[in-house]
Structure 1
Amino acid sequence: MMTSTIHYGLLIALAIALVVAAFTDIRHRRIDNWLNGAIALGAPLFWWSSGLTLWPEVALQLGVAVAAFALLAGLFALKMMGGGDVKLLTALALWVRPDIFLNLLIVMALAGGVLTIVMGVWHIMRKQRDRLAIPYGVAIAFGGLWVLYFNLFPAAATAAAAQ
């Protein structure tokens, strides 16, 4: 019972952190390192509360996070992605199973496309001539919240009911 309470508490904390990341990215166009660090540091507690084994489950989580970071760091080097976005997605990879992480990436990409169109129209309507800056942390947070709501919370409820 205590483990499921901790599990739900961690999921709620992650949801709050994602909302904070989205709002800080909208407001300041950056996602703070302390927030990304807190998300990453919460993952081992989440693994424990989920009952993941060190091998192969936790190792797979770490592998996906390392692969995501390597790929996303390349996009950062090409100036296609912000550093805070890279760190946020890498931290989320620590929380989400690889198959669900793919869902997160798909939902994030779709949300990012909609966000880009909306921001582009807004930019044109305001007749701004400066470079358009997309707060992609919003799309990442949306993808993360989508996965939380449709994958992680139902899985936690099933696990709690089985106990």
Structure 2
Amino acid sequence: MLCLLGVLLIVAAVTDLRSRIISNRLNLAVAALAPLWWIASGLSPWPDMAGQLLTAAIVFAIFAGLFALGWMGGGDVKLLGALALWFPWQAVLSLIVLMAVLGGVVTIVTVVHHRMTRRLGQPEIPYGVAISLSALWLIWPTIF
């Protein structure tokens, strides 16, 4: 199950890097697989699964606010909400901190590349790369 999540995260990073879009289908697949992971992990409906849903709702609400401010893309927000279904809240906090650090690196690299190639306008930051790498970092020890 985690291997499939890993593949979906790689696809999200690559497509965001190439086209600056993370598809709704991919985000839906990430979200839809989470309940199967809960069952495979032996989570109880209350309070475990309910806690996962609450964590995901809070993450989605916070980042939807950032989307409304124009600070994040819609696909990024949906991917974060879907990923929050997979991890306990403590791991979600780690995901967000790591995402912020990696997002800074992705932003710097994107801005430098944008200027070196003398492109016009504001660069679009492929934040899905940082989100995906952060989630991969969290699942890596479990897979291997």
Equivalent residue for 2:82, pick from 91, 107, 127: 91
* Post-superposition CA distance 1:46-69 (Å, at most 9, x none): 000000011111111000000011
SS at 1:95 equivalent: coil
Matching residue of 1:11: 2
* 1:14-163 superposed matches below 5 A: 14-150=5-141, 152-153=142-143
SS in 2 for 1:128: coil
Amino acid of the structure 2 residue aligned with 1:45: L
CA deviation profile, 1:65-112 (whole Å, cap 9, x unmatched): 000111111111111111100100000000011101111111111110
The aligned amino acid for 1:153 is: I
- In terms of Rg, which structure is larger? 1
- Per the alignment, residue 160 of structure 1 pairs with none
Where in structure 1 do 4 or more consecutive aligned residues deviate above 6 Å?
A: none
User: Do the aligned partners of 2:38 and 2:49 also contact (CA within 8 Å) in 1?
Assistant: yes
Question: Helix, strand or coil: the match of 2:12?
Answer: helix
Q: CA RMSD in A?
A: 1.0
Q: Deviations over 1:107-151 (max 9, x none)?
A: 11111000111111111111222211101000000111011114x
Gaps of 5+ in 2: none
In structure 1, list runs of 5 or more residues that go unmatched: 1-9, 155-163
Q: TM-score, normalised by structure 2?
A: 0.96
TM-score (norm 1): 0.85
